[in-house]
Structure 1
């Protein structure tokens, strides 16, 4: 039968109507017609494929049909899943299996392929089990002769599918003993607990078969001829010395070989995992020495590896930053107390739980810096969003099982040699090394120091540290303060200097002179103790072409002729010098580190083994073990880059780097190379490229009178960002509305009541108790009022059917306010970029929307539709142009001022941003105070007021709300900066001298609980004269709040039985503030991230309907 005829048959087959309720898919595909018995198997296969394409219920769009936004937001894993899940293949193979029982098919090859195709189809990720394909296969098997060949093959395929879904043996166990890392790294592989643990032998990867030379060359001569640095050559990719100092952390984390008498060099004293043993120590004794024993914390700036004192200053500084990071994480996790997991723990149990979680998160941060900062520079991927991710589950080809992960690791002796990256030591670090070792060996030159002398000196230094508490260790003569911490500015300068210090190029004859005794010792260990393979044997092991000559290994005549003289035959070339003196790779896309070719290939394989083999980075790297907040923190890149190194630097050294500094965001490249990269990407204008100046001096103000002066006197103090805003005009516009107070009160009362009914759900069998999210109601009604006052197109507002939802409008308005509140606090650099970026996007959209609205009110309709439709994408059509009477009156006053529309846009934007999100900030804190059991009597008084409907009771209710907020407020006002020197008075009456450029931080307690304002500032006093609105926006905002707050609160308080839901209020986490004692609060979202305002979070309350 011709192909054309098959096509015609296919057309006739599509004529019957498929009834999904009565006919199975297989029956539909194979109606009982004689013509099918005449088809060959290949023709039948083509026909079935055509049939399935026409009956599938999934629309398959081409890449050009997918909107760009959808393409950009689809993850790599989702693309894999979408491609792999091919349900049609599984259905087709089930069909062919049925054919083999009922009809004679000549294509035996096709039948033989059926089981594998079923495996591919039914084992694919994202399989839609609602299609019941597996059940169809089982039904088919049940109807086939048991003894048939095809039945057995399909049965085997089924078993492979269901067996392959689970790991065998298991890779993770339940229980606290398996949730956290052990001090020595044991139990990473739960079947072989000692695999990769500390004090276990190095593994060997390569079998040596090449006969060893009888007379091997003297290692000192090898160093002098092949390795000794003859000159400094800067790194061709412009990698900074900080990258190699970070590499020191990695290398010393997984390799620790002792040369002490009586010890065996085959033993690795550290674990084979990236578990930060340089910080935590390699055994229980070392771990206990760095811990405080309370709340999971480490001692201040303590590290567990004495070798950090023998590393360049930037290496030690990085270790200290990871130590600090642990404590930041532990405190934040404890404050959030996710799912109340710490409520029943205390003492040692609480300490162990917090420490275990904090270490997992801190190591997760370490890992993702490696994957997203370190390796991308090594690969020279130029800040691409893509990165090498060896952690995810990967299905095996054919669908049977998955590529192994979480099975443990053991570092090999060959890689201990491979990671001797001494040639890359920068000039600055070489100078430090010269000074340090000359102090250890006074009067001696490097060639005069033997390897034995070096080992003895290192042992003596180790002994000094071993007898000293890690919190007192002298690292590079850095002074510690009274709390044991090193100076932030000093550590920051070490990091900054390392960023702008270019590393050296990998090359033969590139090793600094003081490495001579170290390299000799390394060569002797590799040669005598470990008997490692040759260079060519290692290349063969990696699947690389072996070298046929010394000139192929390194074409530099000075190098290859010296090597040839030493070794005679390329097959004799030892691994150690072979790796160190090999020709370096060029600097090209895909190659940034530019070591020798063999090293370049080996490090990628080792990186995969170190990460994918680690159970705590794969199978047990979960929100249940790390908490949602911890998981989010250690996996989310720092805004402004695709990596997380900036997060580590800015969170542990607050205020020392501008939030957009390339020194923090791209620290593994020297600034010149980063600037070139950003120019190429056309994003340079967003970054600060200068050498970071000293941290700004901040003054904490705790006096109300000084706070009032700071907030009101613009001659001396300005915020950043500053905005121009005509408060008087906007206040007049509000007052111009007839009965404006009644209008505002009625709007909030009616809409709050409606929202409570819409969003409440039953909380008891009787249905009397209801539960509702207070923040959802307050945020929504606030956005609805803004929409009404400014006539914005919001879904469901004033009769509109098109537009954005009130929830989206609220989020859009809240983000510029969040930036205005916290954007000036430069000690929060790790948060500022995201706040600014979100604010810019939202501000631009809001300005376009307001501008369009002003023109519609002004009668200029024609240009509006295209502008709003195309730019802001919010207004849906003519139905959204109508303006309500209240908004008309409001806008008439604005137009009467004579200002142009651009000026009015700024005024409207400032008012709506300031006004909308403030409601929930006040009411959440007030309700938390009232619903505390200790304040029950005050809650009773509020209940009584809520039942009344008169101006006096509304005013008293407002006073009580504001008083509760005063006592429970935690959010500081916007930070300000001094334009000129000025003297202030602190709470004790002392003078505070503020210099030009200094920052002033107003403590919430100073603003609202100054003892000079009240004899008992901590006592609830509804008649308190403290003007708490001073820190809550501008005059128009305060006008609206005075009316809106009691109107909203009354709808809640009028219900009896009001109380906090069992989950409690959203947690608050304290981040770095201007001083150690003054922290900046963030409200924790449902996903675990912090934000200055309570958005993307919930506060459920219960009441009786």
Structure 2
């Protein structure tokens, strides 16, 4: 900063007001569901753990996929969540389903504000996951899956003690997580015409470093708060965001089946400009300010670093004229636009959720972080790591749908990262993101 454009960066509150405040909910043109949004949030918070008390560039994460968001970030919390019997996690039965314990019964560190009823405070693997019921849903499903896996392992190895069952169960859950991320989540985000497959063995025999580091730019890039709607539809009942926060009890009340089905049918927001809800505007503001504090490079510099052609005009960046003119007035030079601002204002790539920079910059970080996990190495990618062929098969055949269907009582609900009614082009991006009417032959 300071080489191109104005001598001072634009006022952050002016930027937020001009380009990012949501006046009308803008649905994702690719039909992403809110179930996908919560998957992204639950998954990434195992390695995006900024230590703000230190500084915006510090982290308390382990720099990789380690499933600490399920089991706890330290041994003390892990032990509080464990039953120490048959390798399982501690659960309780509420409304005829298994759920995590209340926070009062397992004193792990949780971030509940004052005034939250005990019936909404649960002991979870991440202190943040009590914030939204969607996060609580994923936490519940993964904990049930761990216990289900331990039952299978105990049947295969009746002589194994609690510790071996628990640790092997964790490795299977880790493998399932990576498999689902690659073949369900990355597949959805990329919208490739071919199926993405998780096959660690394709790297065997090639030089590859099985370690990872989370860089701060990857963290900033992954601030996808526009995906969140302003309200949530639970079996036809609309719950406003302010009434949805710290309401894990809604999952208990309505049941995991109804919540999963509802989240699969509700469309997420478009990851773009003019689509930040009121609840997350402070996060957006802080992200821009943290980028300045850390002296992140301008947007175009990152494009050049990742072998992408830098934009030469503001209109080329945004794909329109009005925002382009306002951006030019505030920044003065296309090479002065800040990284996160540029990512949100960049025109969407065809058949993608985002502009090209988020896709092409984020993909290398994502793929490296997944395949660099030690379980993907030749030393560990074998049946013995996962308790034999049965455990290895659980990992290799894992899917998002199986994860939910194996752990929800009764008939399996809709489990999908894309809403069922989606049709390519059903959102008119040139007309205030209104839905286009269906073709006449569908009326």
Same fold flag (TM > 0.5): yes
Q: Give, in whole Å, the separation in 1 of the partners of 2:424 and 2:291.
A: 42
Matched residues in 2 for 1:603 and 1:390: separation? 20
The answer to whether the aligner puts 1:539 opposite 2:303 as a matched pair is: yes
Q: Tell me how many residue pairs correspond in the alignment.
A: 388
Match runs of 1:7-46 below 5 Å: none
Alignment of 1:318 onto 2:77: no
The aligned residue for residue 441 of structure 2 is none
Shift in Å at residue 257 of structure 1?
1.2
Q: Which runs of 5+ in 2 are unaligned?
A: 92-98, 101-123, 234-238, 426-443
After TM superposition, give the deviation of residue 654 of structure 1 in Å: 2.6
Q: Secondary structure at the match of 1:253?
A: coil
* Change beyond 3 A, Cα 1:299–1:436: same
Distance 1:549 1:674 in 2: 33
1:643-654 matches, within 5 Å, as: 644-654=399-409
1:670 aligns with 2:434: no
CA contact (8 A) 1:508 1:559 kept: no
Q: State the secondary structure of the residue aligned to 1:571.
A: helix
Q: Distance in 2 between matches of 1:391 and 1:212?
A: 46
Question: Aligned residue for 2:428?
Answer: none
Cα contact 1:210–1:534 (8 A) shared by 2: no
Q: CA deviation at 1:412?
A: 0.7
Change (3 A) 1:333 1:233: same
Residues 1:618 and 2:377 are matched in the alignment: yes
Q: Distance in 1 between matches of 2:207 and 2:240?
A: 45
Write out per-residue CA displacement over residues 195-241 of structure 1, whole angstroms, 9 at most, x where no aligned residue.
xxxxxxxxxxxxx8957964222211111112111322222221211
Q: Distance in 1 between matches of 2:390 and 2:2?
A: 52
- Residues 652 and 475 of structure 1: CA distance in aligned 2, closer, same or farther (over 3 Å): farther
Give the structure 2 partner of residue 581 of structure 1: 345
Judged with a 3 Å threshold, the aligned counterparts in structure 2 of structure 1 residues 215 and 675 are, in CA distance, closer, same or farther, namely closer
Structure 2 residue 238 is matched with structure 1 residue 421:
no
Residue 169 of structure 2 corresponds to residue 361 of structure 1: no
What is the deviation of 1:402? Answer: 0.8
TM alignment of 1:1089-1104, pairs within 5 A: none
Matched, 1:434 2:193: no
Q: Which runs of structure 2 are paired with 1:932-951 in the superposition (5 Å)?
A: none
Match of 2:264 in 1: 499
Runs of 4+ in structure 1 deviating by more than 6 angstroms, as ranges, are: none
Distance apart, 1:623 and its partner CA: 0.6
Equivalent residue, structure 2, for 1:857: none
Structure 2 counterpart of 1:735: none
Q: Conserved in 2, the CA contact under 8 Å of 1:274 and 1:610?
A: yes
* Paired residues for 1:268-667 under 5 Å: 268-300=59-91, 301-302=99-100, 303-311=124-132, 313-337=133-157, 343=159, 350-381=161-192, 386-389=195-198, 391-394=200-203, 402-406=206-210, 408-429=211-232, 432-435=240-243, 476-478=248-250, 486=252, 490-528=255-293, 530-587=294-351, 591=352, 594-619=353-378, 620-627=380-387, 628-637=389-398, 644-657=399-412, 663-664=414-415, 667=416
Aligned equivalents of 1:615 and 1:315: distance in 2? 26
Instruction: Check the 8 A contact 2:68/2:126 in 1, yes or no.
Output: yes
- 8 Å contact 1:508–1:583 — kept in the other structure? no
Shift in Å, 1:390: 6.4
Q: 1:230 to 1:556 in 2, by over 3 A?
A: farther
| TM-score (structure 1 length as normaliser) | 0.34
Kept in 2, the 8 Å contact 1:321–1:648? The answer is yes
1:527, distance to aligned residue in structure 2 (A): 1.1
Contact 1:425 1:504 in 2 (8 A): yes
What do residues 949-993 of structure 1 show as CA deviations (whole Å, max 9, x unaligned)? Answer: xxxxxxxxxxxxxxxxxxxxxxxxxxxxxxxxxxxxxxxxxxxxx
| Cα distance in 2 between the residues matched to 1:351 and 1:521 | 44
Distance in 2 (alpha carbons) for counterparts of 1:675 and 1:222: 32
CA separation of 1:429/1:415 partners in 2, compared to 1, >3 Å: closer, same or farther? farther
Aligned pair in 2 of structure 1 residues 231, 240: CA closer, same or farther (>3 Å)? same
Report SS of the residue matched to 2:26.
coil
Q: Secondary structure at the match of 1:607?
A: helix
- Displacement, 1:266? 2.2
User: What does 1:235-254 correspond to in 2, within 5 Å?
Assistant: 235-254=28-47
For residues 182-221 of structure 1, what are the structure 2 equivalents within 5 Å?
Answer: 214-221=7-14
CA RMSD of aligned residues (A): 2.6
Cα deviation 1:760-814 (Å, max 9, x = unaligned): xxxxxxxxxxxxxxxxxxxxxxxxxxxxxxxxxxxxxxxxxxxxxxxxxxxxxxx
- Is the 2:264–2:419 contact (alpha carbons within 8 Å) kept by the matching residues of 1? yes
Partner of residue 25, structure 2: 232
How far the C-alpha of 1:427 sits from its partner, in A, is 4.3
Aligned counterpart, 1:956: none
1:317 counterpart SS class: helix
**Structure 1 contact 427–503 (Cα < 8 Å) conserved:** no
Inter-partner Cα distance in structure 1 for 2:339 and 2:37? 22
Greater C-alpha radius of gyration: 1
CA distance in 2 between counterparts of 1:599 and 1:368 reads 22
Q: Is the 8 A contact 1:584 1:595 kept in 2?
A: yes
Task: Describe the SS at the equivalent of 2:255.
Answer: helix
In the TM superposition, what is the alpha-carbon distance from 1:595 to its structure 2 partner?
Answer: 0.7
* SS at structure 1 position matched to 2:271: coil
Q: How many Å separate the matches in 2 of 1:284 and 1:213?
A: 50
Q: Relative to structure 1, is the Cα distance of residues 255 and 292 closer, same or farther in structure 2, using a 3 angstrom cutoff?
A: same
Specify which structure has the bigger relative contact order, considering alpha-carbon pairs within 8 angstroms and separated by 6 or more residues: 2
Which secondary structure does the structure 1 equivalent of 2:406 belong to?
A: helix
Q: Is the 8 A contact 1:405 1:612 kept in 2?
A: no
Kindly state the Cα deviation for residue 519 of structure 1 after the two structures are TM-superposed: 1.0
Alignment partners' CA distance in 1, 2:190 and 2:369? 18
Contact 2:5 2:333 in 1 (8 A): no
Secondary structure of the residue aligned to 1:543 is coil
Call closer, same or farther: CA 1:559–1:434 in 2, change over 3 Å.
Answer: farther
Q: Deviations over 1:317-344 (max 9, x none)?
A: 012101111111112101111xxxx63x
Cα 1:496–1:436, aligned 2, differ >3 Å: closer, same or farther?
closer
Unpaired stretches in structure 1, ≥5 consecutive residues: 1-207, 396-400, 438-473, 480-485, 638-643, 677-1105
In structure 1, distance between residues paired with 2:177 and 2:340: 29
For 2:182 and 2:421, the matched residues in 1 are separated by 23
